[in-house]
Amino acid sequence: MLEIKDLHVSIDETEILKGINLSVKAGEVHAIMGPNGSGKSTLANIIVGRPGYTVTRGEVIFEGQNIMQMFPEDRAKEGIFLAMQYPVELAGVRTWQFLKASVDALRKHRGEDQFSVRQFDRLLDEKRQIMQIGEDLIRRSVNEGYSGGEKKRNEILQLLLLNPKLALLDETDSGLDIDALRIVAEGVNTFKNSDNAVLLVTHYQRILNYITPDYVHVLLDGRIARSGGKELAEELEDKGYEWIIKDVAAAAS
Amino acid sequence: MTQALAKNERYQAQFKGIVDGSSPEWLDGLRRQGMKDFSSLGFPTARRGNENWKYTNINAIANAEFDIAPASDVTLEGLKQSAPWDDDWTTLVFVNGRYSADLSNPSTDASVTVGSISELTRSNGNILESHLTSIAPTANDGFAALNTAFVQDGAFVHVAEGVDLETPLHLLFVSTANETPFITHPRVLVVAGKESNATIIESYVGVGEGKYFSNVVSEIILEAGAQVDHYRLLDESDEAYHVGVARVSQGDDSSFSSAAFYNNVRLGRHDLLVTIGDGCETKLAGLYITTGRQHVDNFINLDHTKPNSTSRLFYKGILADRSRAVFGGTVYVRDGAIKTDSLQSDKNLLLSPDAEIDSKPALFIWADDVKCGHGATAGNIDRDTLFYMRSRGIELEEASRLLIYGFAAEIVETVKLKSLSDHLERIFLDSLPRYSFEF
């Protein structure tokens, strides 16, 4: 589904990603872990096309096509979704309106009719219940006055509504209490099936207790320093990142 | 002879047809005084050293040769298309400055006097005489002076003491533009009696294409304890000029709430002064959307003359293309006006690098123990915001449309009248300007 080949990315002349290779197949859950500043968020953002990054080498292939020149909205239409680390507040734009505009945009792309209000509300009610988001929140401006947990739950609500092929989660677990974390994980697990894939970016192993990864990759200084199964995450939980940093340094010398 | 003086002679000549002996002497007296004051004041074309006109150039008005507005007609159906309308409202329609009995829907309520000034000079001469020009004097304002010189029809509203008027009053001034530039002098006088309650809509709507100049003066007088909800809509023709001098006087314990909307005009200026008594509440909201080469100038002054009053000013602007907006004016807190609580805010959304806003709200405080704040912001839609929406599949154009509407909606939502908010949604939403920054 997703093939990343020798990807080098810079922000303002500073190289952040220094040659990433990664292959994600349908049905898989990959966790990208790493300390702060290792390039995890950059990797997630470059896949969805956030402006401000320069790709200096390599490519990102999604479902057989190089997506690096595509607009963010076109990538979304092809089925790529990012649950953001810092969801943006949209003053005056009602959450309901925003969600419907998104769902309609993707339906239009697939050649389907726009939902009627009733059809959309039916879908929304079902997904809202999974994410335990009340109706009052939907009537407010997007993310305005939402708590940290509500913002993250709203991101996963969007994941469920848009039902992409590839879901990227950028530190969705950060700042969540245990109850919110469970709800978020439940949302992701509801989404997950054999036809889609999840790429989960996280600093901590905690969320992996609820969402079981098939692969764990450790990102250090813009490179994947180590890949393994879910036991790698447990090892990190015990030993911290220092252990891999030393290992990598030793291997290099 | 300067060009400006030559223009003044044109108004002098037009004036000769106005004072024809058919009106009461007091009214002709006001007109003569207006003409005299205009002759000495002229238009405020000098901007150097004139803070009130620093950012707005009215040479186009001063130098134009306007005819007296011709009689014209519009159909009721056409009117309902271009102006806010509700069959349940009391509506006075003026076409090119002339009261149209056919299009109007006058009140049958005996507790309110609504009608054209020229007609009501007979039945309500005393109250008209004691209030007309009482808060918008001609001595220091060329536009107000010129308007007064040409006062004829115009809307007069008197709500009797203690009356709670449930039916909104709509004062609708329509101009039918054509190839010959013309001038109208709409006049509004509202007297809300003690403890009365009324909702008033002032609309200035243009149909057709061509230059004209709406030279408006509104006087709204709230006696003690009165409550007035006021709306003002500017939706003139593309080439129209509009200068509105609005004066509001709030008696003690009165409440004035106003929302002003600017959709279309070539050059528009709203000069509003609210004089506030003891224990009053004043709420002013505004939304201006400018496109093309439009220029909209809001000059809003609040004068707290007595203690214990609260004022809130909340204006928003959306500026596209090469348009320009000015937001100026001052909150005055006079000596002794303690416990004044005043907040002003003017927020602007710039949709184009060529649009310009000059926003400079000010405060002058002579009293102790007051709470005052003001702020002005100008910005464009930020990249992260657009990215967030686009990453959900929403096209750039639709994303900016939702954001622009969201910005505007906050003001539109203050409107309590369904027919009016429906109309505003329609005129604003159907033609929201677009975002033209490079992304």
> A110 and chain B: CB distance < 8 Å anywhere?
no
Give me the interface pTM, i.e. the ipTM: 0.95
CB pairs under 8 A between A and B: 80
Provide the pairing of β-strand B98-105 with B90-95.
antiparallel
Which pTM was predicted?
A: 0.83
Q: Is residue B57 part of a domain?
A: yes
Q: What is the pLDDT of residues A179-221, one digit of tens each?
A: 999 999 999 999 999 999 999 999 888 899 999 999 999 999 9
Confidence of residue B439 (pLDDT cuts 50, 70, 90): very low
Q: Which domain holds residue B98?
A: 3-276
Provide the pairing of β-strand A54-62 with A65-66.
antiparallel
- CA dist A216 and A226 (Å) reads 8
Q: Is residue B242 part of a domain?
A: yes
- CA dist B369 and A171 (Å) reads 49
Residues across chain A: 253
Question: Residue B311's closest CA among B248, B262, B264?
Answer: B248
CATH of A2-252, one of 3.30.420.40, 3.40.50.300, 3.60.15.10, 3.90.1010.20: 3.40.50.300
Identify residue B104 by its one-letter amino acid code: S
Q: Is residue B128 part of a domain?
A: yes
Domain ranges of chain A: 2-252
| Total domains in the fold of chain B | 1
Q: Is residue B365 part of a domain?
A: no
Q: A41 to chain B, minimum CA–CA distance in Å?
A: 15
Cβ within 8 Å, pair A97-B402: yes
- CA dist B154 and B216 (Å) reads 10
Q: What is the pLDDT along chain A (253 residues), one digit of tens a residue?
A: 999 999 999 999 899 999 999 999 999 999 999 988 899 999 999 999 999 999 999 999 999 999 999 999 999 999 999 999 999 999 889 999 999 999 999 999 999 999 999 999 999 999 999 999 999 999 999 999 999 999 999 999 999 999 999 999 999 998 899 999 999 999 999 999 999 999 999 988 889 999 999 999 999 999 999 999 999 988 888 888 888 888 888 877 7
Q: Is B110's pLDDT higher than 50?
A: yes
Half-sphere exposure of A222 (CA within 13 A, CB side): 12
Cβ within 8 Å, pair B392-A98: yes
Return the residue in A11, A45, A70, A73 with the most chain B beta carbons within 10 A, the one to mutate for interface testing. Answer: A73
